[in-house]
Amino acid sequence: MRATMEKSDWIPASNFVRKRRLLLIATESLFGTGVISLLEDQKDHLVIERVPDVMTARQICGTFKPDVVVDFRETSSPEDQALLQALVSRYHTRVVHCTLAASQLTIYDKTRIKNATVEDLISAVLK
C-alpha cells in the first residue's frame, strides 16, 4: 500500500523533509487560544489539526496519524489520561500535556517541566 501525502505536508528544501503532524486537543479559553496562536506560527514545520476533546482525538488519529498530540485543556479526567495513554500505545505518537495552574505553565512530556516557557512547549512539539 502506498501512502499519499498532500503537497502541503512537505517542507520545501532540497531534502524534502516531511512536516510534523500535530493534533491539538484544545478549548476556546484564553490559554488555549494563545497556545494555538503560538503553534500556528510554526506552520512552516507543522500540519495542525485541532479537536475539542480526547474522544474526538481518538477518532481522528487513525486517519490523521499525528507525530505528536498536545493536550492543553484546563481540566483532565482520569479517563482522558487513559485514552491519551492508549493513543501512545496504538499510534506510537508522543503526547505533550500542558496545564496552567497557579498562573504557571507546566508541561508533561515524559518528564515534568515546571515553570515552563513558550520555548519549552515549541521544543517539545518539534523534537
Domain coordinates in residue numbering, the chain: 19-126
How far apart, in Å, are the Cα atoms of 108 and each of 1, 13, 17, 100, 125?
35, 32, 27, 12, 12
pLDDT of 10: 54
- Nearest CA among 42, 53, 47, 108 for reference residue 79: 53
- Nearest CA among 80, 115, 72 for reference residue 96: 72
Q: What is the pTM of this model?
A: 0.73
Sorting pLDDT into bands at 50, 70 and 90, what band is 40?
confident
Q: Is the pLDDT of residue 51 over 70?
A: yes
Q: Is the pLDDT of residue 88 over 60?
A: yes
Determine which helix (DSSP H) or strand (DSSP E) holds 4, and give its type and residue range. none
Euclidean distance between CA atoms 41 and 38, whole angstroms:
5
pLDDT of 49: 93
Grid coordinates of 36: 494555538
Sign of CA dihedral 9, 13, 17, 22: negative
Contacts 24+ apart (CB under 8 A), 13-16: none
Q: Is the pLDDT of residue 127 over 70?
A: yes
Q: Is the pLDDT of residue 30 over 90?
A: no
Q: Give the CATH fold of the 19-126 domain.
A: Rossmann fold (3.40.50)
